[in-house]
């Protein structure tokens, strides 16, 4: 039986993996939250991964607040770069395959067609830069790893766009949503299944991969879809936001190309 350590287990993806765990009886899971295991502390990682106990480590621990990353860049880099560097060093030493979750925000959004794994990266915000630096550490240190870039995660867990739109719509609020950005909304449960199928399957093509749900939408288009799926389209006024501004720059087009 393969033992799998899941870090950041209380986040969207971590909880989605926990929900699916019973579907994979051939895997022995150990779930640790950021309180149980601080990836910025290499000593705690070494204690947790000693004696080659884990065949895989799925790193769901990340600093994901895009806006606050601009105001507190040291926090983003400490977790998304330094923390990942620590994991990579210990996983290599323990012969543990590291599965790192990365982001579409490693790209600048200027290409206008779906981004291939091989396309040049050029993050335009601190969050994307910190995640890209984490990718670089893994590539430099490890041979056996998967870096999975994904985008616009949502689920029934935690705070996310889907839940926010649904809550506001049910409260009867009018919605104003930008259509200036296009990406692929991805259900965390689908990403979780993809990761676990990767572990249990025969595909061991290590390196960088892309995974999304495949449908490219603007945030406005995604909001429209959420209302439609929940039979709320006729009950809520949804309009395109004009002059939508955020503190952090975001890529205008960050659709990831996928190959099966």
Q: Annotated active-site positions, please?
A: 127
**Tokens, residue 142:** 């490890």
Residues whose CB is less than 8 angstroms from the CB of residue 119 and which lie 6 or more positions away in sequence, other chains included: 107, 111
Dihedral of the alpha carbons of 1, 19, 208, 254, in degrees to the nearest 10 = 170
Residues 6 or more apart whose CB falls under 8 angstroms from that of 132 comprise 102, 106, 121, 123
Asked if 256 contacts 150 with a C-beta cutoff of 8 angstroms, the reply is yes
Question: How many other β-carbons are positioned within 10 Å of the β-carbon of residue 52?
Answer: 11
Q: Using CA atoms, how far apart are residues 79 and 74, in angstroms rounded to an integer? A: 9
Of 28, 23, 15, 60, the C-alpha closest to 189 is 15
Query: Are the beta carbons of 184 and 256 closer than 8 angstroms?
Result: yes
């Amino acid at each position: 039986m393969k033992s799998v350590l899941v870090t950041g287990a209380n986040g969207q993806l971590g909880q989605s993996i926990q929900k699916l765990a019973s579907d994979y009886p051939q895997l022995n899971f150990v779930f640790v939250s950021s309180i149980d295991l601080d990836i910025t502390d290499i000593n705690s990682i070494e204690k947790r991964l000693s004696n080659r106990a884990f065949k895989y480590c799925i790193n769901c621990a990340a600093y994901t607040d895009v806006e606050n990353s601009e105001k507190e860049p040291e926090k983003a880099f400490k977790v998304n770069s330094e923390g990942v560097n620590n994991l990579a060093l210990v996983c290599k030493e323990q012969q543990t395959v590291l599965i790192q979750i990365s982001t579409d925000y490693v790209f600048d959004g200027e290409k206008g067609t779906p981004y291939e794994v091989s396309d040049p990266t050029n993050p335009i915000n601190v969050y994307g830069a910190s995640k890209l630096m984490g990718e670089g550490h893994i590539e430099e240190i490890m041979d056996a790893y998967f870096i999975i870039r994904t985008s616009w995660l949502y689920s029934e867990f935690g705070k996310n766009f889907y839940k926010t739109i649904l809550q506001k719509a049910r409260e009867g609020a009018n919605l104003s949503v930008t259509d200036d950005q296009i990406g692929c909304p991805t259900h965390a449960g689908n990403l979780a299944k993809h990761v676990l199928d990767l572990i249990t399957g025969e595909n061991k093509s290590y390196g960088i991969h892309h995974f999304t749900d495949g449908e490219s939408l603007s945030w406005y288009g995604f909001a429209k879809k959420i209302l439609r799926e929940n039979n709320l389209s006729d009950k809520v006024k949804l309009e395109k936001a004009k002059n939508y501004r955020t503190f952090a720059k975001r890529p205008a087009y960050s659709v990831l190309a996928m190959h099966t």
